[in-house]
Every structure is written in structure tokens, then in C-alpha cells.
Structure 1
């Protein structure tokens, strides 16, 4: 079975597994304890924070807040930016194609009296800085736009958006969900105007259940978890030391290998796109700028789950929509927001590449896709 669903969760790197095991065996101390065991754990925690800060592009270690993953990071960035405010700013600007953890955070805040503008993307799945600026109001507190769309692979102009927003109103915070962007799409975070950036370890071959939120120095957030004051008071609770150390290793490797990885994946992606184009029943989703690891297409007239399970029977693991939405048979809200018909929006397939994939793997996937098309096309009265 070949796994082409790395955007959902990438296989943990063997070095990361060994590191996590070594830390669990050697460090049982609580980083908040003042005895030797606790102090050793604390030093390891802070060293991991330094490694993560460097991997993010030279940000300050104190700007790194460890979380349980990007869902928590997104919740903290969005809710933490709105709750507890006393300046009358109650408005959020985001897009119609965000991850559910962003969309649902905004909808939950609406129940508390806050307001959200959901900006519609262009037909290729990108969101322009002009549309974001047009949505700003005098009471806007936060703009949240993802770096790379987790379904189509569209790269959003987040640096341009952040600069434009800050020029319009420097008091508006800018949050970016960087889950699919980190380690794949370049971003000078420290030099950017981005205030908050969410990352998840298991997308870059780290452990599940750990992530981080970059919080630019000077940005104050309302904590969602209170208690012992860990993570500068922004995220109470004993830190998951072993997973954090493993995540730091994964983040470092992802950052160091980003350029050659992107080049390798781009070559494989082009090979795969050429194979998809061979089938006139398949429609490629082609953003203006795409991340190197994602290929998305639709098979109009068939449900995503039918295509997915057919490919699985042929030894290929792919995804329908994002992992968090894949179990639903509802039309993709991302494709719907892009103006695609229901026929297209219910038939999307995402293929996401990983470090271990080769040209041979892509050829095997292409063979499986060819067999799947031959098998499924007659169900709709189509010819190959």
C-alpha cells in the first residue's frame, strides 16, 4: 500500500521516533519543578524552543508557544485575539476556504457577539490582498488567512496581505495557518508583517499531538487554558516534553531540507499532473501558485468516496477533501466557494506527496488511476 495522503499526516521520521523514546526514557522530570530532574527537563524544553525559533526563520525563542497542534494554535490565535478586548474591536476577516479550526473558531465567537466577514476566493482558489482590504472595517481586530490551502494546494499571498493590512491599520493582527506551508512554501516570517503563525508537527514527520504558535513579541493574547502559567501564561499545563523535543527535530529537518524537498516534489508533481491530464473525465484544480506536494482533481459525476475506495483497492491511499472533512459526503466548501458546481464539489480527490516518494511510486499511482478510471467511467455512461 502506497500512502499519498501526507497532507493529512506524514509518517513519523525514524530519527524523531528514536528521539522521543530517548527523552521519555531519560527525562521524567516536570519542566516546572526546581529539582535537578526538573531543571534538566526545563533546559531541554528551552533548547527545543530555540531550535523551533531558528526553523521558523530566525524568530525569537520567546515568540514560540508550544501547543497540542495546529487546531489549538488556531483557536488560541483567533479567540485569544478577540476575547478580553476592551477597545471595541469585534470584527474578524477570514476566508471561505480556511481549515475547520479557523472557521469554527470564528463561528463560535459570533455566538458571543463578534462578527466575521468570510472573503470569497478567486476561481483558482487564491484570495487577493485587495479583497481582504475591502473587507476591513474600523472595528476589525484580526485577519486570518491560511498559507497553503489544505485541499487544493493553492498558495495564498500571505506576506502581501499582511503588509497591506498593516499599512491600512497597524492595530489589526494578522494570523496565518501555516500547517501546509511550513517546510514546503518559503516564508520570511521574522521579516514579514505576520503576527501569529500556526504549525503542526505531524505534517512534517513529527509526532502527533504537538504544534506551536508563533506569537510576535508585543502581541497579547487572552489565554484559553489557565492554571500553572506555563508557556508565558498562554497555555497552562505540563509540557509534553518528549513530543516537543521530537517536534523540534522534525521542524529543524523540514526547514533545512525545504528547498531540495520542494524541487523533488515539484518534479514528481509535474509527472503526476501529466498523468491526470491523460484522462478527459478528470478535471485538474490548478491554482495560480501551488504548493509542491499537493495535486487535486475532480471526477464529476462520481462521489469522492467511490474514487478514494477504488484507488485504495488498487493499493493507493489518497484523500477526499481534507482529513478533517473527509468523512462527510457534503460538497467541499472549498470547491463550492471557488464557484465549482455541486458535481465537481462532491468528487474531489487530493493526492499529497511525501519525502519517500519516487518517480516509480508516481508511475504506480498513475497505473492505479488508469485502472480506476476504466472501472468507474462506465458507471456514469462515460468512455475513457
Structure 2
């Protein structure tokens, strides 16, 4: 039973079929001018259009990358490079993904000044905290739309409104890797200048991501080479992965349009059942429909995970990108160590069933009654 969909997801059938077809039939280089090349270029064009439709933007505002991490890195370093003459102050939060925090740490080393605001109790970031940190020389605000550990949802549109009301010219980047296809990510409604997404969080293969760059905004290229991606990211495009990403997005929009509502129903069902079965469990309240942070204070998350894994139930303790040590996100929202040490993160998907959640609840209750309480 796989309940770790915030870490990665099972590739859907249409996505796998698209990747296979691109590898075995339409395998030309999309820069080649012959028929095979044109076929491959057509797949890239289709994938770009499918993703643009989901974000409500133009296809020429979508740039393919190898991951959400690369998209975050490119957004931050690319915008900083073109904004350095205007200012060197950046606002982010203490609860961001390492792809953002480590990029900002490197920029700090290069002479930028980074302000990390404290998150709200659910891991989101308030517009007020951004306003309090805003300065005339602020050139970038980078905040996660959905927290990958808590499921807290940041009001990116509200933060954009704050920037506009204060006549700030700071660019607004949002890491929407956990948000994409789970909460609204209409870039026009959000008002963001840059937005990062990743394929393997939405039932596409690993190794493909994308960066939305608002039309008219010029950021620095990240990889130099043969002029691919409108001269912004060199290197032959991974046609199979792009095709697979596009089809996964298309499949979600066309065949599973009610998925966010279904996920919300499953999350509510799980949290209600757990609160009855294990009243002492600490269940973090958050708005994202697919991420649940649960803690059994007095038990260690590693022990709980091992207990569940022995019964073929797979969950995580925090972000899969953070191995070892306490979660910086849970520390940033002020949870006590007893809660952090006993935390499990569940990630639901459109393949999750109520029956699976019933089994998980029963097994977690058995773990509580079987394992030694510290």
C-alpha cells in the first residue's frame, strides 16, 4: 500500500505509453529537419501545450527542465542575475524546499541578502510577513505554494497584491511542485512571474520538470548549448519524458477532473477516523487535499515506519529530499520535539482508496498498542 505520493507517484498508463512510443517509434532528435525530427518536435510542442493549458498560460512561457529542483534553481539564479543591478535583497521562508534554501544560501555567499520569514502554524506564509520584510531593494520573493511536508497553502495571489500595493518591482516565484493539479495553479490568477513544477509528482516519470516564465520577463539562461528551449536551456530535449509529462497532465485534466475533490474527501475521512481511533494523535491542519502530517508523540517515526513497512504500508517521516535529522519545516512552525520525532507524512493520490486508509488506520492503531512508548 503506497501512501507516500508526496515523495513520488506511480506513472499512469497514458504517460508510460507516451514515453514508450517516443523511445521506440518517434525517437528522432527534435532539432533535426527530417521526418523523424519533425515527429519528435511535434511531441515536444504537444507536451508544452498540454502543460500550458493546465497553468492557463501560453506554450511559449513553458521551459522544460530535468526536475523541480532545477526549475527552482533556474528561477532563483536566473532572476537574481538580471536583477542584481537593481537590488540584492530576496525574501523567502524558513520552511522552503532545500532546492530553494540551498540556492539562496549560495546567493548569500555571493553577496545577496536573504530574509527568511517564519511560516504560519500550517507551514504557509502570510502576506503580512512578506510585507514586514519588504524593502526598496527587494528583487525576488520565492515562496512555496503548497508545503511539501505540512500541506499548508500560501496565498500567492494575496502576496502579489501586497507587492503591487506597495509598488514593489520584486519578481514573485512560487515552487508549485506539490500544488500542481491538486490546488489551483492558474498563473494569471496567482500573479506569479515564475512557477516551478515537476512531472513525477503528477504521475509522470522522474527526470522531467518545467519552469513557467511570464512573457516579457527575461531571466538568465541556466544551461548553455545548442539553443534549445528558445536559447534558454541548451541540450537535446528529452522527448520521451516531455511527451510523458504532457500526457500525464492531459490525463489528469480530461479523465480525472474531480481528483482534488476526491482527495479532499479521502483526507477528511482519514483524519476523522484517526481522531476517533487514536485521540492522542497530533494531526496537523492544512488546506492541501493530499498531504497529511500525523504524529504519535512518544513514538519514533522511524520505528512506526518500519512497523508499517513490514506490513507493506509505505509512508515517510518528512520530505524524501531530506535524509536524516529533524525536519526544518516542522521546527520552523514551532512543533515540540516530541511531536516532530513521532511524525509521519502521508501523500494521497487518485489511486488511493478508503479501504487502504482503513487498513492504515488499523495498522497504526496496532503499532500504538504494540510498540514501546518512550
TM-score bucket of the superposed structures, by smaller chain = over 0.9
Task: Using the TM superposition, give the Cα deviation of residue 173 of structure 1 relative to its aligned residue in structure 2, in angstroms.
Answer: 0.5
CA contact (8 A) 1:303 1:347 kept: yes
Residues 351-370 of structure 1 mapped to structure 2, 5 A cutoff? 351-370=346-365
The separation in 2 between residues aligned to 1:319 and 1:194, in whole angstroms, is 31
Partner residue, 2:13? 14
Partner residue, 1:39? 38
The separation in 2 between residues aligned to 1:87 and 1:65, in whole angstroms, is 25
The separation in 2 between residues aligned to 1:143 and 1:29, in whole angstroms, is 40
Q: 1:85 to 1:159 in 2, by over 3 A?
A: closer
Partner residue, 1:3? 2
CA contact (8 A) 2:27 2:36 kept: yes
The separation in 2 between residues aligned to 1:274 and 1:38, in whole angstroms, is 54
1:181-235 CA-partner distances (Å, limit 9, x unpaired): 1111123212431111111111010111001011000111111211111112221
Task: Using the TM superposition, give the Cα deviation of residue 270 of structure 1 relative to its aligned residue in structure 2, in angstroms.
Answer: 1.3
The separation in 2 between residues aligned to 1:93 and 1:86, in whole angstroms, is 14
TM-score (norm 2): 0.96
SS at match of 1:190: helix
Task: Using the TM superposition, give the Cα deviation of residue 302 of structure 1 relative to its aligned residue in structure 2, in angstroms.
Answer: 2.8
Partner residue, 2:334? 339
Q: Are 2:368 and 1:373 aligned? A: yes
Q: 1:31 to 1:170 in 2, by over 3 A?
A: farther
Partner residue, 1:64? 62
Find the partner of 2:289 among 284, 289, 292: 292
CA contact (8 A) 1:176 1:197 kept: yes
TM-score (norm 1): 0.93
The separation in 1 between residues aligned to 2:124 and 2:26, in whole angstroms, is 45
Task: Using the TM superposition, give the Cα deviation of residue 257 of structure 1 relative to its aligned residue in structure 2, in angstroms.
Answer: 5.4
Kindly report structure 1 stretches of 4+ aligned residues shifted beyond 6 Å. none
Find the partner of 2:306 among 306, 309, 315: 309
Indicate the RMSD between aligned Cα atoms, in angstroms: 1.5
The separation in 2 between residues aligned to 1:167 and 1:252, in whole angstroms, is 36
Residues 96-175 of structure 1 mapped to structure 2, 5 A cutoff? 96-175=94-173
Query: Structure 2, unaligned stretches of length 5 or more?
Result: none
Query: Structure 1, unaligned stretches of length 5 or more?
Result: none
Number of residue-to-residue matches in the alignment: 373
The separation in 2 between residues aligned to 1:130 and 1:167, in whole angstroms, is 12
CA contact (8 A) 1:56 1:255 kept: no
SS at match of 1:145: strand
The separation in 2 between residues aligned to 1:99 and 1:373, in whole angstroms, is 31
CA contact (8 A) 2:122 2:150 kept: no
Q: 1:119 to 1:7 in 2, by over 3 A?
A: same
SS at match of 1:142: strand
SS at match of 1:109: helix
1:135-158 CA-partner distances (Å, limit 9, x unpaired): 111111110111110001111111
CA contact (8 A) 1:201 1:210 kept: yes
